[in-house]
Amino acid sequence: MRKLSVFNHVSLDGYFVDAHRDMSWAHKQDPEWTAFLEGNASGGGVLMFGRVTYELMTMYWPTPMAARDNPAVAKTMNEMPKIVVSRTMDKAAWNNTTVIKNDLAASTRKLKQSTGDDIVLLGSGNIIAQLASEGLIDAYQLVVNPIALGNGRTLFEGVRDRLNMKLTSTRAFGNGNVLLCYDPA
Q: Which of 19-23, 25-29, 55-59, 181-185 has the highest mean pLDDT?
A: 181-185
Residue 44 confidence (pLDDT): 73
Tell whether domain 4-184 is in CATH 3.30.420.40: no
pTM over 0.85: yes
Asked if 143 and 114 count as a contact pair (C-beta separation under 8 A), the reply is no
Asked whether the predicted pLDDT for residue 28 surpasses 80, the reply is: no
What Å distances lie between residue 184 and 3, 70, 166, CA to CA?
13, 33, 6
User: What are the domain boundaries of the chain?
Assistant: 4-184
Let me know how long the chain is: 185
Asked whether the predicted pLDDT for residue 10 surpasses 70, the reply is: yes
Q: For residue 181, how many other CB atoms are within 10 A of its CB?
A: 17
Q: How does pLDDT run across 72-100, given as a tens digit for each residue?
A: 888 989 999 999 999 999 999 999 999 99
What H or E segment, with its residue span, contains residue 63?
Answer: none
Q: How does pLDDT run across 30-39, given as a tens digit for each residue?
A: 889 888 887 7
Instruction: Kindly provide the residue ranges of all beta strands, DSSP E only, lying in the chain, ordered along the sequence.
Output: 4-11, 15-18, 46-50, 82-85, 97-100, 119-122, 139-145, 152-154, 165-172, 178-184
d(CA 99, CA 54): 11
